[in-house]
Structure 1
Amino acid sequence: MKPVKLGHTYAPSPLPNDHKTKGEKIASSQPFAQQLQQQLERSQVTGQSSLAFSKHALQRMDARGIEVTEDLQMRLNKGLQMAKSKGAKESLFLADGLAFVVNVKNNTVITAMEEAQMQQHVITNIDSAVMLNS
């Protein structure tokens, strides 16, 4: 290794040849892709800015076996409107034994979990909670 001299600019070392190249595709899980497609279709059908799910939230939902029904989707959208009307920024939505952390400003679910997984956990950076009854 050469000594570093102050005032000089250094280029990064080249990467090894085993890294992904620009043309290679990374394999994705089918359930995630299906959920993303369903989410896009729902937002196009409703014609309004409905609640979207971040990539992280979709991955968590897939890993935890959480499915969002049409009824739950409508209640989440209603909860989003309620949270917006109260000036919320980051909310915890509780419905059907599920918990969703939602960025209200961006209409996006950040993460999702079952209430059983919330035991012994602290949820931070939320300013409100919305209880969504069936």
Structure 2
Amino acid sequence: MDPRIHSLQSHPPLSISSTKRTPAKNGNASFNSVLQQELSEIKISKHAKLRMKERNLYISETEWVKMEERIREAKQKGVTDSLILMKDKALVVSTKNNTVITAMNKQEAKSQIFTNINGTIVMED
């Protein structure tokens, strides 16, 4: 057999997993709205999950929604890594990746020096 000719391997067809999407009210979501919805979800790193569990930190659904809005605003202003100060906790978030990097209670945050951030979001209400 000619060394330039390679036998093709059979691969199973790609399967596309279905994800929960909320259709637009008219039934036809625009590409941009679907893209924004997919990009807006905040993820939590393994490290942050561990810290939240160790420190007994809880973030309510309304706090997540507000945080998501504020992260979107910060991203529009060019912020890539942010410190989010809440009433009783502080989070370091990669706004570029929509990922919570670490979390701590407010007392702990007072004794920290935060580096490698280029924006702060204050959500103390």
TM-score by length of 2: 0.67
CA deviation vs aligned residue, 1:1-32 (integer Å, no higher than 9, x gap):
xxxxxxxxxxxxxxxxxxxxxxxxxxxxxxxx
1:82 to 2:73 alignment = yes
| Residue-pair matches, total | 92
Q: How is 1:1-134 mapped onto 2 (pairs within 5 angstroms)?
A: 44=20, 48=37, 49-134=40-125
Percent of residue pairs identical? 36
Unmatched runs of 5 consecutive residues or more in structure 1 = 1-42
In the alignment, structure 2 segments of 5+ residues that lack a partner are: 1-18, 23-33
Do 1:51 and 1:80's aligned partners in 2 also have CA atoms closer than 8 Å?
no
Q: Which stretch has the larger CA shift, 44-53 or 83-92?
A: 44-53
Q: Kindly report structure 1 stretches of 4+ aligned residues shifted beyond 4 Å.
A: 43-47
Instruction: Please give the secondary structure, in 1, of the residue aligned with 2:116.
Output: coil
Query: How far did 1:120 drift?
Result: 2.2
Give the direction of change, closer, same or farther, for the CA distance of 1:125–1:86 in structure 2 (3 Å limit): same
The residue type equivalent to 2:74 in the other structure is: A
Deviations along 1:67-96, one digit per CA (max 9) or x if unpaired, are 111111111101111111110010001112
